Structure formats: C-alpha cells, structure tokens
Amino acid sequence: MKSSLFSGFYKLTPEERLKEVVEFSGLSEEDVAVLRTPSVLGIDVADRMVENAISTLSIPFGVGMNFLINGKDYIIPMATEEPSVIAAASNMARICRKKGGFFTSNTGPTMIAQIQIVGVQDVYATRLKIFEAREALIAIANEQDPFLISLGGGMKDLEVRIIDSQIGPMVIVHIIVDTKDAMGANTVNTMAEALAPKIESLTGGKVYLRILSNLADKRLVRVRTVADKEAIGGEHVVDGIVSAYAFAAADPYRAATHNKGIMNGISAVVLATGNDTRAVESGAHAYAARNGVYTSLTHWEKTAEGDLAGSIEIPMAVGLVGGATKVHPTAKIAVKMLGVQSAVELGEIIAAAGLSQNLAALRALATEGIQRGHMSLHSRNIAVMAGAPPELVDAVVKQMIAEGKVRMDRAKEIIETLTNQKR
Ligand SMILES: CC(C)(COP(=O)([O-])OP(=O)([O-])OC[C@H]1O[C@@H](n2cnc3c(N)ncnc32)[C@H](O)[C@@H]1OP(=O)([O-])[O-])[C@@H](O)C(=O)NCCC(=O)NCCSC(=O)C[C@@](C)(O)CC(=O)[O-]
Ligand SMILES: NC(=O)C1=CN([C@@H]2O[C@H](COP(=O)(O)OP(=O)(O)OC[C@H]3O[C@@H](n4cnc5c(N)ncnc54)[C@H](OP(=O)(O)O)[C@@H]3O)[C@@H](O)[C@H]2O)C=CC1
C-alpha cells in the first residue's frame, strides 16, 4: 500500500499530481480521460482557486423559471445534482405569480466577527472599557479597508458579550461590519485580527479567536408569497400544507428534512453564483435553532381568504465580489443572468428560490407524496445507472414510470428486453 504522505505535492503541476494520484489509487485510463476532459472551468483557473487541484467536477447548471420578485421577472441559475429540484421551484414560482409573486426585504449586508478574550477577572468592568474605546476600535478596523470605506461600508458598531464556558467566563467582542457587496469573511477577519493587540492592551486579557460568525443574524433576507388556493389545488391542499408546516415547526426530526428541502433551492443558487454554500448552510441551520430548539425556517399560514401565505427569514451571507464569484467563469455568467445590482438583492432571490422549493415539497408531501414527481425525474439517473445506452434511456424511463416501478432491478430487466428486441 502506497503512503499518502507527500511533502510538496502542491509544487507539482496538475498533470504531475494526477499521475501520482493515478499510481496511488489505481485509476484506469478511462478514469484518467474523464478527469482530463476540459471543462468550462479550466484546470489553470481551478489550480489558482484551490490547492492540489488535479481536475474539476461538473454539476448540472439549470434555470429556475417563472420567478416574479418585487414585480420583476427573474430566471434563476441553479447548480444541483438532484433531479426535480429545479422543476419543483419553477412550478411553484408559476403558481405564486397569480397573487403577485414574491416580496422581499432585508437588514442590509451586515456581518459579525467575534474576538475572544480570556484571562480577564473583572469581566463586567472590562466589557464597559471596550465600549468606551468604541471610536478608537472602529478607526483601527476601518484603516484596514479604505476601498470598502469609500463605498460607505466598514465597521459600524460593536457589541460586547460575557459568556460562561467550561474554562470560566469569557469576554466576546462582536464587531459589526457593513461589507457592501462582499460576503465579507476575509474583510471582517482582517479587521478582527487588526483589533486584537489594541483589545489585549485595553483589557489585559489574552485574545485567542478572531473570526467571523456564520450565524449572520444581522444579514437577514425576508421573502413572502401567497399561493392562490385554487391554483395550489384547493383549500384542502392549503390545510395539508399548513399541517405539514406545523409538524416541522414542532419537531426537529421533521424540521431537519423540511429545511433540507428549503436548502435544495438555496444551495443551488448559492453554488451557481460562486458563493460559499457552507457559510450559507451553517447560517441557516444555526438561525433555525436560535431559540434553543431547531425548527422550521419558513412559516405557512392560511389567509382570511383561504389562500396560503408563506414566508422565510434567513441569514444570507452572499456576495457579488470576492470568493469565487468573480473568478469562476460560469458563476460570473450566472450573476449576469440575474442582472442584480447588489449582494442583498442576490440574497433575496436566493431566499425566494428556497421558499418556492419548500412549497413544492410540502405540496407534494401533503397530497400525492414525494415519489411520483421526484422519482419520475430521477428515473433518468436510474436508467443510466442500470446501464441503459443513450438510445434506450427514454424508452426505459417511459416504461418504468408507466409501471410505477422506478427501480434499478426493473430498469435492468427492461434494458435486457429492449436490447434483445433490437437484435
Ligand atoms: C416535479 C413536479 C414539479 C412535477 O409536478 P407536475 O404537477 O407533475 O408537473 P407538470 O408536468 O404539471 O408541470 C408543472 C410545471 O412544473 C415544472 N416542471 C414540470 N416538469 C418539469 C421538468 N421535467 N423540467 C422542468 N420543469 C418542469 C414546469 O414549470 C411546469 O410548468 P410548464 O412549464 O409545463 O408550464 C412536482 O411533482 C414537485 O414539485 N414535486 C416535488 C419535488 C421536490 O420537492 N423535489 C426535491 C427533492 S425531494 C427532497 O430532497 C426534499 C424533501 C421532499 O424531503 C423535503 C421535505 O421533506 O420537505
Ligand atoms: N467562516 C466562513 O464563512 C469563512 C469564509 N471564507 C471565505 O471568504 C470568502 C469571502 O470573503 P470576502 O471578504 O467577501 O472576499 P474577498 O476578500 O475576496 O473580497 C472582499 C473585498 O472586495 C473588495 N471589494 C470590491 N468591490 C466591493 C464592493 N462593491 N463591496 C464590498 N467589497 C468590495 C473589498 O476590498 P479591497 O478592494 O479594498 O481589497 C473587500 O474587502 C469566500 O471565499 C469564503 O468562502 C473565509 C474564511 C471563513
């Protein structure tokens, strides 16, 4: 067995790295040909984006149709490996148009970075000393990014918390930064690190962590919509969806799946636009648990007219500059397709995709169940996995759906029958 210990692997070219990986893992010539296939994201760009690059991974890039948001039409880029997600979001966006589509608001592009101070005895007095130095601290932070300041961004405020921990009380400073059109992780981390020496001299404590919080609860986007009761399938469907929501609101086991459905839409747009999926996902789930119990990120209620009102409020740390947004060629086009003017507008669109996605899943679950719509779209994957040659995929899919048996074993049987018939 070869060792994976390899000092200086990063100094090799991508091609040399690939050769090493092939030797280590025993990949075949066909595997290597797949890894070498040119993609829109060239290996040279990939090699500048991450470390030890040997290839790129393609994910389907589709578009969510029918979205009307604040009276404006959008075609939403979505990158996902999961069938039925894009169809589902598009379908509900179509239904929601009848009552005007989606309506949004936001709290602005405000990020938090945390500075951890330990070894302080008089934590309450220290807390106030930090507030007294507010202006000086803001000045130090804002010296770090003159360009952001010129745009009207920068550190605006601070909060000081005292938290109990298993190693005693800690003083935690939150710096509150307007990051404008950047997601802002690098921006706020630079500021937090620059503030550490001043905070240590001010408090006599020791600063350890200086890092943004992904619980970006000062960077919220809010989206609401109304689904017409007839368009959604009748008042009993409205009642079923409200009941499905009530289940998620009351039970973390259900809420985790309910929120996964929301993130089907959200992560797809975050990824398509070159943003950080992990940052948005951790923010979403932490926000869902902010009151101590994990719950639904959306609300679904019946209006006085019997229609269905849906809403979502979610942290949305996404940018139009920084990260991969201005580097990845497809992500740049995705942003261009949306024609957004600001990072918060992008965030609102992303949340609308999440709300629409959630509605589609709840509607399916509260009526016919998820399998018909999802599996009929997933059936193409099953046919390919079962070994259907391209010319037989459609026929295999058609027969599996007609029989209501979207399964690998059945797909294999159908392929065999069709292949024998052709002979
Ligand atoms: C799949 C549908 C939309 C079919 O729904 P349907 O009513 O059979 O669709 P239709 O054929 O009547 O078409 C209606 C519209 O859907 C869209 N549409 C329809 N088909 C396509 C397609 N092939 N490609 C693109 N778009 C499609 C399209 O907008 C179309 O309008 P049109 O263009 O005809 O005017 C529906 O069954 C559905 O929404 N199902 C839910 C699917 C879903 O939620 N998938 C996510 C994966 S499951 C999961 O991970 C999460 C979950 C479910 O566990 C979350 C939870 O538990 O809460
Ligand atoms: N926990 C997490 O989520 C973490 C995430 N990350 C990663 O950080 C990256 C995002 O960081 P981010 O700070 O956004 O990226 P960048 O540092 O790449 O970009 C932000 C910089 O862009 C410049 N800029 C140009 N135009 C604008 C504008 N209109 N508005 C705002 N800034 C502008 C600003 O500074 P200037 O031009 O002056 O340089 C700003 O500081 C992502 O890749 C993420 O994955 C990193 C650490 C932790």
By the 8 A CB rule, do 288 and 298 touch? no
Dist CA 311 CA 383 (whole Å): 37
Mean pLDDT over 238-258 rounds to 98
Q: What is the pLDDT of residue 372?
A: 79
Residue 181 alpha carbon to ligand 2 centre in Å: 9
Dist CA 353 CA 312 (whole Å): 11
Q: What is the pLDDT of residue 363?
A: 97
> Do 231 and 358 sit in the same domain of this protein?
yes
**Tens digits of per-residue pLDDT, 350-373?**
999 999 999 999 999 999 888 878
Structure tokens at 82: 């999961």
Residue 220 alpha carbon to ligand 1 centre in Å: 28
Q: What percent of the chain has pLDDT over 70?
A: 100
Residue 152 alpha carbon to ligand 2 centre in Å: 15
Burial class (CB in 10 A: 0-12, 13-18, 19+), 350: buried
Residue 55 lies in a domain: no
| Residue 32 binned pLDDT confidence (cut-offs 50, 70, 90) | very high
Query: What is the extent of the structural domain holding 30?
Result: 9-49
Side-chain-side CA neighbours of 297 within 13 Å: the count stands at 35
> Do 280 and 317 sit in the same domain of this protein?
yes
Residue 347 pLDDT more than 80? yes
Q: What is the pLDDT of residue 242?
A: 98
Task: Tell me the CATH number at 378.
Answer: 1.10.8
> Do 119 and 82 sit in the same domain of this protein?
no
Residue 415 pLDDT more than 80? yes
Closest CA to 218 of 351, 318, 316, 343: 316
Kindly give the number of the ligand 1 atom that is closest to the alpha carbon of 254: 57
Q: Residue 318 has what DSSP assignment?
A: -
Residue 214 alpha carbon to ligand 2 centre in Å: 14
Q: What is the pLDDT of residue 6?
A: 92
| Residue 35 binned pLDDT confidence (cut-offs 50, 70, 90) | very high
378 is an active site residue: no
Structure tokens at 47: 């090699």
**Tens digits of per-residue pLDDT, 277-292?**
999 999 999 999 999 9
374 is an active site residue: yes
**CA of 359, nearest ligand number:** 1
| Residue 100 binned pLDDT confidence (cut-offs 50, 70, 90) | very high
Catalytic residue among 20, 47, 82, 251: 82
82 is an active site residue: yes
Mean pLDDT over 386-400 rounds to 93
Instruction: Please tell me the residue having the least CA distance from ligand 1 atom 10.
Output: 91
Mean pLDDT over 188-198 rounds to 98
Backbone angles phi, psi at 223, to 5 degrees: -135, 135
Q: Which helix (H) or strand (E) holds 369?
A: none
The C-alpha R_g of the chain, in whole angstroms, comes to 25
By the 8 A CB rule, do 237 and 176 touch? no
**CA of 371, nearest ligand number:** 1
Catalytic residue among 98, 156, 260, 405: 260
Kindly give the number of the ligand 1 atom that is closest to the alpha carbon of 65: 29
Mean pLDDT over 127-147 rounds to 97
**Domain end residue (candidates: 186, 212, 238):** 212
The CA–CA distances, whole Å, from 292 to 221, 256, 267, 288, 389 equal 21, 14, 24, 9, 51
**Domain end residue (candidates: 366, 386, 411):** 366
Residue 71 pLDDT more than 90? yes
Mean pLDDT over 83-102 rounds to 97
Residue 114 pLDDT more than 80? yes
Average pLDDT of the residues of the chain: 96
Residue 322 alpha carbon to ligand 2 centre in Å: 4
Q: What is the pLDDT of residue 330?
A: 94
Q: What percent of the chain has pLDDT over 90?
A: 91
**Tens digits of per-residue pLDDT, 201-227?**
999 999 999 999 999 999 999 999 999
| Residue 349 binned pLDDT confidence (cut-offs 50, 70, 90) | very high
Instruction: Please tell me the residue having the least CA distance from ligand 2 atom 5.
Output: 185
Residue 4 lies in a domain: no
Length of the chain: 423
Residue type, 152: G
Dist CA 227 CA 66 (whole Å): 14
> Do 259 and 346 sit in the same domain of this protein?
yes
DSSP state letters, 400-412: HHHHT---HHHHH
Task: Scan for tokens 């550490």, then name that residue.
Answer: 196
Kindly give the number of the ligand 2 atom that is closest to the alpha carbon of 324: 43
Instruction: Please tell me the residue having the least CA distance from ligand 1 atom 26.
Output: 87
| Residue 83 binned pLDDT confidence (cut-offs 50, 70, 90) | very high
Residue 405 lies in a domain: yes
Residue 54 lies in a domain: no
Dist CA 172 CA 259 (whole Å): 30
Side-chain-side CA neighbours of 411 within 13 Å: the count stands at 23
DSSP β-bridge partners for residue 222: 105, 313
β-pairing, 298-302 with 170-178? unpaired
pTM, two decimals, is 0.94
Dist CA 353 CA 78 (whole Å): 9
**Domain end residue (candidates: 366, 383, 413):** 366
Ligand 1 contacts (CB < 6 A) are: 65, 82, 84-85, 87-88, 90-91, 94, 257-258, 260-261, 264, 360-362, 364-365, 370, 373-374, 377
Task: Tell me the CATH number at 181.
Answer: 3.30.70.420
Backbone angles phi, psi at 64, to 5 degrees: -85, 125
Residue 183 alpha carbon to ligand 2 centre in Å: 6
Residue 88 alpha carbon to ligand 1 centre in Å: 3
Dist CA 249 CA 295 (whole Å): 5
Residue 1 pLDDT more than 80? no
Q: Which helix (H) or strand (E) holds 305?
A: none
By the 8 A CB rule, do 298 and 311 touch? yes
Sign, Cα dihedral of 333, 336, 340, 343 = positive
**Tens digits of per-residue pLDDT, 297-320?**
999 999 999 999 999 999 999 999
368 is an active site residue: no
Our count of domains for the chain comes to: 4
**CA of 209, nearest ligand number:** 2
Best of 91, 237, 355, 367 to mutate for ligand 1, by most ligand atoms within 8 A of CB?
A: 91
Q: What is the pLDDT of residue 176?
A: 98
